[in-house]
């Protein structure tokens, strides 16, 4: 099975709780296989199945109060 890694730049995270909220939101997105979010680096690396769009990942981040770009 082919998989894709998306790297997001995420703004607004200040602590581990913030990165936890973003991680949970991304993991709840259909097609997401694995997530690694760092509030220190303001990044998120998301391993997905190929049909997952970057825009759906960005919307998941926005749904919990943060902003993201690819």
Distance, CA of 59 to CA of 56 (rounded, Å): 5
Structural domain range at position 63: 4-69
**Per-residue model confidence (pLDDT) at position 34:** 98
DSSP state of 28: T
The 3-class secondary structure across 5-61, one letter per residue, is: EEEEEEECCCCHHHHHHHHHHHHCCCCEEEEEEECCCCEEEEEECCCCCHHHHHHHH
> Tens of pLDDT along 17-40?
999 999 999 999 999 999 999 999
Where residue 61 sits, what CATH number does that domain have? 3.30.70.100
pLDDT at 68 over 90: yes
At 11, is the pLDDT very low, low, confident or very high (cuts 50, 70, 90)?
Answer: very high
pLDDT-above-90 percentage for the chain: 99
Total number of domains constituting the chain: 1
**Per-residue model confidence (pLDDT) at position 59:** 98
């Amino acid at each position: 099975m082919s998989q894709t890694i998306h790297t997001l730049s995420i703004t607004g995270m200040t602590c581990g709780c913030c990165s936890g909220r973003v991680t949970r939101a991304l993991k709840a997105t259909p097609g997401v296989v694995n997530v690694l979010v760092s509030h220190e680096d303001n990044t998120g690396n998301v391993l997905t199945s190929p049909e997952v769009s970057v825009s759906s990942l960005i919307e998941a981040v926005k749904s919990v109060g943060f902003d993201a770009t690819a």
